Amino acid sequence: MSKLVTIYGGSGFVGRYIARRLAKNGWRVRVAVRHPNEAMHVKPYGVPGQVEPVFCNIRDDASVRQVMQEADAVVNCVGVLNEVGRNKFDAVQYEGAERIARIATESGVERMVQISSIGADKDADSEYSRTKAMGEEAVQSHMPNAVILRPSVMIGPEDNFFNRFAGMTRFGPILPVVGAATRFQPVYVDDVAHAAVLGVEGQAAPGIYELGGPEVETFRALMQRMLKIVHRRRLIVNMPFFIARFMAFGFDMVQKATLGLITNGVLTRDQLHNLRRDNVVSEGAQGFDALGITPKSMATILPEYLWRFRPSGQYDDIRDSARNMRTDQL
């Protein structure tokens, strides 16, 4: 019988790519999520019954243990960018990770892969980064042979980075950003999934891997790259941190006052802390090279899904070709 892997958060951005790769490699995949009915898109990744969404609440021991039964490996992809309701940074990224690793040890699970983040640091000002580091430490205390992946900002067709800012270009001549000089090293989500699969299958040595793509660029340069791809001219305006702090405070207060009915999907005070720090692979850190993976470049990936934000979408190139043809004829 093929081996079984439980992927916590397996229907999310990176989780779905891990699930698809493992299913292709013949694994049975149990996708543990809060809302299985919203995770049906993972079922076609394998033959009928090979990939199954199941309910799980990682804040509960019994729930975590139930979906881990008979699993040979586990992957934890669960994380939050904004605290809403009971999904606090501590509860999800520290206590949740610790719970999964502890129960994996108790259940005799052979391998674990933890998806963390570049910038994870117990002394960070950001609660997001602090709890990511605490989660890593908790995982290693229970599963010393765990593989921990720290990706930079992940990109791909479903990302909430380039898609978000490309969408903003439709509504005006100005594109506001915060931390324009902060450096990023965007990494293709499927390359991260490839690394996770190596960890699940025992082809990656235990330890921490920092994963970044081949290009390091400032926030401003990334937006300029994006604007060229979507064929739009916009003025990139860097918002000073002191102004952004007041805005983030206001958005956070609206979320708090509405008891989470209106969530802050624009900018939080915690995200501001992260925007002050470069999001790149640390000097001397092991990464894709240690895994034998050659990461794909942004030039290869971005045009494949950002074309829909062009003024004429998929027909933009045809329109430009027709215009050039008329010019040549004149």
DSSP assignment of 163-230 equals HHHHHHGGG-SEEEEE-TT-EE--EEHHHHHHHHHHHHTT-S-SEEEEE--S--EEHHHHHHHHHHHH
Q: What is the mean pLDDT of residues 216-238?
A: 97
What pLDDT sits at residue 228? 97
Element holding 151 (H helix, E strand): strand 147-151
Question: In this predicted model, what pLDDT tens digit does every residue of 97-124 receive, in sequence order?
Answer: 999 999 999 999 999 999 999 999 999 9
Q: What is the mean pLDDT of residues 206-233?
A: 97
What pLDDT sits at residue 236? 97
pLDDT category at 85 given cuts 50, 70, 90 is confident
What pLDDT sits at residue 24? 97
pTM of the model: 0.93
Q: What is the mean pLDDT of residues 134-154?
A: 97
Reply yes or no on whether the pLDDT at 321 is more than 90. no
What pLDDT sits at residue 259? 85
Question: In this predicted model, what pLDDT tens digit does every residue of 261-308 receive, in sequence order?
Answer: 898 888 999 999 999 999 999 999 999 999 999 999 999 999 999 999
Residue 7 bridge partners (DSSP): 31, 75
Question: In this predicted model, what pLDDT tens digit does every residue of 9-39 receive, in sequence order?
Answer: 999 999 999 999 999 999 999 999 999 999 9
Q: Compute the distance between CA of residue 330 and CA of residue 224 in angstroms, rounded to an integer.
A: 32
Q: Are strands 147-151 and 111-115 parallel, antiparallel or unpaired?
A: parallel
Q: How far is CA 140 from CA 108, 137, 147, 208, 246, in A?
A: 15, 5, 9, 10, 38
Contacts of 265 (CB under 8 A, 6+ apart): 82
Q: Compute the distance between CA of residue 236 and CA of residue 322 in angstroms, rounded to an integer.
A: 30
Q: Compute the distance between CA of residue 31 and CA of residue 20 in angstroms, rounded to an integer.
A: 11
CB atoms within 10 A of CB 24: 11
Residue type, 39: A
Domains of the chain plus CATH, in order, are 4-156+186-215+279-296 (3.40.50.720)
Instruction: Give residue for tokens 């990770």.
Output: 97
